[in-house]
């Protein structure tokens, strides 16, 4: 699955863009595992989809990445 497909599926499932998630519980010093757990629990995302959002948070990927 391409990175864009992950983002498309996340938007379809949650109605949110990666930018929308940044407005949530993201704080300085929060650990990756906490973010992944939050995305899985609150938004019912799978591990790969949660990791895609985390990659955008960390600047490893952006919304234009393939």
Q: pLDDT per position in the chain (66 positions), as tens?
A: 788 899 999 999 999 998 888 876 677 788 889 999 999 999 999 999 999 999 988 888 877 776
Q: Residue 66 domain-assigned? A: no
Whether 25 maps to a domain, the answer reads yes
pLDDT of residue 47: 95
Work out how many domains the chain is built from and give that number.
1
User: Does residue 47 lie within any of the structural domains?
Assistant: yes
- Assess if residue 63 is contained within a domain: no
Contact in structure between 63 and 17 (CB atoms under 8 Å): yes
Report long-range pairs for 53-59 (Cβ below 8 Å, ≥24 apart).
53/10, 53/18, 53/21, 55/3, 56/18, 57/18, 57/21, 57/22, 57/26
- 19 is a domain residue: yes
- Domain range enclosing 40: 3-58
Q: Is residue 49 part of a domain?
A: yes
Q: Is the residue at 7 inside a domain?
A: yes
Model's pTM, two decimal places?
0.82
Would you state the torsion angle of the CA atoms of residues 18, 62, 2, 47, taken in this order, to the nearest 10 degrees? -50
What pLDDT does residue 57 have? 86
Tell me what pLDDT residue 60 has.
83
Task: For residue 64, tell me if it sits in a domain.
Answer: no
């Amino acid at each position: 699955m391409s990175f864009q497909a992950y983002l498309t599926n996340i938007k379809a499932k949650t109605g949110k863009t990666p930018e929308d998630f940044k407005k949530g519980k993201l704080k300085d010093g929060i650990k990756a595992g906490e973010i992944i757990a939050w995305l899985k629990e609150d938004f019912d995302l799978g591990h790969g989809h949660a990791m895609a959002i985390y990659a955008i948070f960390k600047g490893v990927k952006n919304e234009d990445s393939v």
